[in-house]
Chain A
Amino acid sequence: MYCVKCGVRLEDGAAACPLCGTPSWNPEERERNTHYNPELYPAPEKEGKYTLLAVITVVMAGIALGCLIACLAALGRVGWSGYVLFGVAFVYISAVLPFWFRRYYPAVFLPLSFAALAGYLLYINGATGGHWFLSFAFPVTGMAFLITYFSVGIALIRFRPRTKLMLLGLLFILTGGFMLLLEFFLHISFSMKMFRWSIYPAAFFGILGVFLFIASLIRPLRRGLYKKFFI
């Protein structure tokens, strides 16, 4: 018995051509005599992932609501349960939400997590009557987000080796700058002394960054680095 489309010979009793799916015409219906044994194959597994995620969601929502109700009953206002509520929301958005999707989309989930963190900090700031959100928490979270976003981008996007090294150098320089700014924001919000510690990491990252940046421009140095350290 041959497939009329592909011209290949088919197994005895095959219902269709495995290549093109054309039904085969069996003048004498014979039992399929096959090398393989499809009757043994297990049924495809159901994805257990979503059940687990649903359970986690229910448990987390239960904890948050339970705290809220308990607090409302005891104090008559939101009180400490607000921290729990926002904390649970932050953990859920950054650690559980991405798993609902088939793959992790850093371009979407990273900003979401940092936004959730900033929201949480804003709530704490408001609830405690603090004055540090705009002058400290918001800029620091923003910078941390930028640096994370930048490094994830470098890691995931394919660049030419030279561009990659250059961007890596820039990332290190940025990180060094971040250290300085961090101390500056600590200084203006909590009146800590300036330039006590940040210059050391800043100098370290800065020098490393400048070195990588220069290395990206000099081909022999780049090749040497690649051979030694795979970068």
Chain B
Amino acid sequence: MKRWMRLDNAALIFPAIRNSRWVNTFRISAELTETVDPAVLAQAVKDLKPRFPSFYVRLGTGAFWYYLQQIDEAPAPRPEYAYPLTHMGKREQRRCCFRVLYHENRIAAEFFHVITDGKGGEIFVKSLVARYLELRYGITVPKEGEIRDIADKARPEEVQDAFRKYTGEVPMTRREGTVYHLFGTPDGTGFMHIITGLIPTDELVKKAREYHSTVTGFLSAVMTKTIIDMQDCHIRGKKRRPVKISVPINMRKVFGAETLRNFTLVLNIGVDPRLKEYTLEEICREYRNQMALELTPEKMAARIAANVLPAQNKLLRVAPLFIKNMAMRWVYSRYGERKGCINISNLGLIDMPAVMQDHVKRIDFVVGVQLTYPNNCSVASCGNVTAVNMIRSIQETELERRFFTNLVKLGIPVAVESNES
């Protein structure tokens, strides 16, 4: 019998807010040292299926809920046929919620956010690459850390909805002030412009330490400074708005959870430029304090409760799906994307065993643009290369230019690539 499961609490929103042009997807790609063998890759994708049952699913539509149903066949890897994060339509989601792509020496996986978040995707891609390398080169990759052994069975805690498990009893209010919104001329073709900044990890970490900050905190601070400068060009004085960065927090660390499905919460950290002219040091300090204040398990549980409790509302539960969708879209437009200027999603240092590291040159993490934010930023480090991927759906490159130039001015060497011809 084909098993089916409910969407986890965070995933509920994604099918409700998708439309014919936009869906919440992200991509993790690994660049190997040699050309990818498609047949071996297909075998590796097949081999991973029993170990990752929550990934090999299709999105089904019921009368009251969306649901995930396991699929029989693992999806066949495809050669890259278009730009990164090409729109994943409803028809494709009904067949499988992720795709595996290859091009020359790159393996990429693009996930619909409904099945997993960045960390889950990272674990999957690492395990996939490990399996591929084992089949291709006959090496044995030690199954340590986040690389899962395909001989094992999937553990129940890996497929559970951790939000329900760790929810608090009292919800935290979601009310926050609105912020400055980035804008630009929409591209209109659906093409996702990506500009990648490659930074030596050691230099970045050294600079972040100088400011007594983490890499995420430091990059968020530089981004905040950039957006404050951009806002100053358009609006002056008291009409200015606060500038906030939405930082997805991996809750597995906070609660010690093992789930491979969504378990991320977004924290909006920011400063109000009307209060004073913040320097980078001050923003870094501010962010350090704000994070320390918010990142406690109790507060996180209260934030989760704010998402979980409405879903348990009896009136909403018996409502047909289209009513639920309308309600969710409304909640999302009100709370989802109005409270931050841009996302900075940092996967952190992606560590892997030395035998595997020899074959992997670089790992990229790209989160698609949000419904209304025209820009998005995602970061991943592998070895000594940190790839800062800035994606945008608008034509102007002002944010990217200012952001990377600011990094260069701070003495961090940045190499820039673009996906445009």
Contacts and interface: CB of A to CB of B under 8 A. Distances in A.
Interface in B366-421: 397, 400-401, 404-405, 408-409, 413-421
B329 interface: no
A72 B401 CA distance: 68
A36 B416 contact: no
Interface string B24-37: 00000001000000
B15 interface: no
Given A11-B417, A18-B417, A44 B404 contact: no
B273 interface: no
Nearest to A34: B417
Contact of A41 (B191, B315, B331, B414): B191
A3 B400 CA distance: 14
B315 A229 contact: yes
A226 B78 CA distance: 48
B114 interface: no
B89 to A, nearest CB: 13
B414 A8 contact: yes
> What band does the interface of chain A fall in when counting residues whose beta carbon is under 8 Å from B?
20 to 34
A40 interface: yes
A226 to B, nearest CB: 11
A40 B189 contact: no
Given A35-B417, A36-B418, A19 B404 contact: yes
A33 B195 CA distance: 15
B80 A40 contact: yes
B interface, size bucket: 35 or more
| Interface residues of chain A: helix, strand, loop or mixed (majority) | loop
Q: Is the interface of B mostly helix, strand, loop or mixed?
A: mixed
A38 interface: yes
Interface string A36-48: 1111111011000
A135 to B, nearest CB: 38
B81 A36 contact: no
A44 B421 CA distance: 14
Given A8-B197, A8-B405, A18 B418 contact: yes
Given A6-B404, A10-B416, A41-B83, 17 more contacts: A6-B408, A6-B416, A7-B414, A8-B197, A14-B418, A19-B195, A19-B397, A19-B400, A20-B397, A35-B106, A35-B364, A37-B103, A37-B104, A40-B81, A42-B82, A228-B313, A230-B316
Q: Which 4 A-B pairs have the closest CB atoms?
A: A18-B418, A38-B421, A36-B419, A9-B415
18 contacts: A6-B405, A7-B414, A8-B405, A8-B414, A9-B415, A11-B415, A18-B397, A18-B418, A19-B400, A19-B405, A34-B417, A35-B31, A36-B83, A38-B419, A38-B421, A40-B80, A42-B82, A44-B189
